[in-house]
């Protein structure tokens, strides 16, 4: 897990990536454009939102798929910002407890519950302005290695972000991707 303090605004620009993410990219005119924050003191990622009828299912409710997309996003960013790994969703399960109303203020929150090597388990929820939980979710994520990252981002992984990669090598050293990147960064060039 990453050891930091305070709140940090999370953006794709921080990773040197050109993204058109439906949920978090502010430049995606058709997207949700949510601002995500890592609260390192609390160990969570969160975002606040108020969706209009553009994102409705039933006329007064936010579409369930939109709620699930928001939860997947905060849970994925929790693995990145709190867990310290780039990862992809493997499995997710959600329960709708209360309506997520169009036009009402809501907050989505996620945290990493556990990690086991290159697997992460997260929990997330959407709550209303009174803190009442509307939707709960749990998910598992698999950390990605360099080949997957290159494929997903369409280019090389910047050196300063290599510690977020899973170790997919079979070199027998037992080092993780983070340890290998750290060793590479601190190696004496002579």
pTM tops 0.85, yes or no: no
Residue environment code for 69-94, b if the CB has 16+ CB neighbours within 10 A, otherwise e: bbbbbbbbbbbbbbbbbbbeeeebeb
DSSP 88-151: EEEEEEEEE-S--BTTS-EEEEEEEEEEETTEEEEEEEEEETTS-EEEEEEEEEEE--HHHHHH
Q: Would 171 be classed as within a structural domain?
A: no
The residue with tokens 């990493």 is: 112
User: Residue 124 belongs to a domain with what CATH number?
Assistant: 3.10.129.10
Range of the domain at 66: 7-143
Q: Would 43 be classed as within a structural domain?
A: yes
User: Residue 161 contacts by C-beta under 8 Å, 6 or more apart in sequence?
Assistant: 15, 16
pLDDT tens string 8-59: 999 888 776 678 888 998 899 999 999 999 999 999 999 999 999 999 999 9
Q: Would 13 be classed as within a structural domain?
A: yes
User: Domain total for the chain?
Assistant: 1
Q: What is the pLDDT of residue 182?
A: 39
Q: Would 148 be classed as within a structural domain?
A: no
Q: What is the pLDDT of residue 1?
A: 54
Q: Would 109 be classed as within a structural domain?
A: yes
Q: Would 163 be classed as within a structural domain?
A: no
Check pLDDT > 80 for residue 170: no
- 134-160 average pLDDT score: 90
Measured CA to CA, the distance from residue 3 to residue 178 in angstroms comes to 14
Torsion sign, CA atoms 115, 120, 121, 126: positive
CA 184 vs CA 118, 159, 160, 162, 176: distances in Å: 20, 9, 11, 10, 12
Predicted confidence band at 179 (pLDDT cuts at 50, 70, 90)? very low
Q: Would 187 be classed as within a structural domain?
A: no
Q: Would 168 be classed as within a structural domain?
A: no
């Amino acid at each position: 897990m990453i050891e930091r303090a305070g709140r940090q605004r999370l953006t794709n620009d921080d990773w040197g990536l050109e993204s058109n993410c439906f949920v978090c990219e502010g430049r995606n005119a058709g997207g949700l454009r949510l601002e995500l924050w890592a609260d390192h003191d609390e160990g969570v990622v969160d975002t606040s939102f108020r969706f209009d009828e553009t994102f409705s299912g039933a006329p007064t409710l936010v579409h369930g798929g939109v709620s699930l997309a928001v939860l997947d996003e905060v849970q994925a960013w929790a693995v990145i910002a709190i867990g310290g790994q780039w990862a992809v969703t493997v499995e997710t399960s959600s329960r709708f407890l209360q309506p997520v109303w169009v036009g009402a203020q809501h907050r989505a929150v996620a945290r990493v519950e556990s990690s086991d090597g290159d697997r992460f388990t997260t929990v997330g929820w959407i709550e209303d302005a009174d803190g009442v939980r509307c939707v709960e979710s749990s998910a598992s994520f698999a950390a990605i290695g360099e080949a997957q990252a290159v494929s997903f981002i369409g280019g090389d992984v910047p050196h300063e972000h290599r510690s977020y990669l899973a170790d997919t090598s079979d070199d027998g050293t037992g080092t993780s991707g983070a340890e290998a990147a750290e060793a590479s960064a601190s190696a004496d060039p002579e």
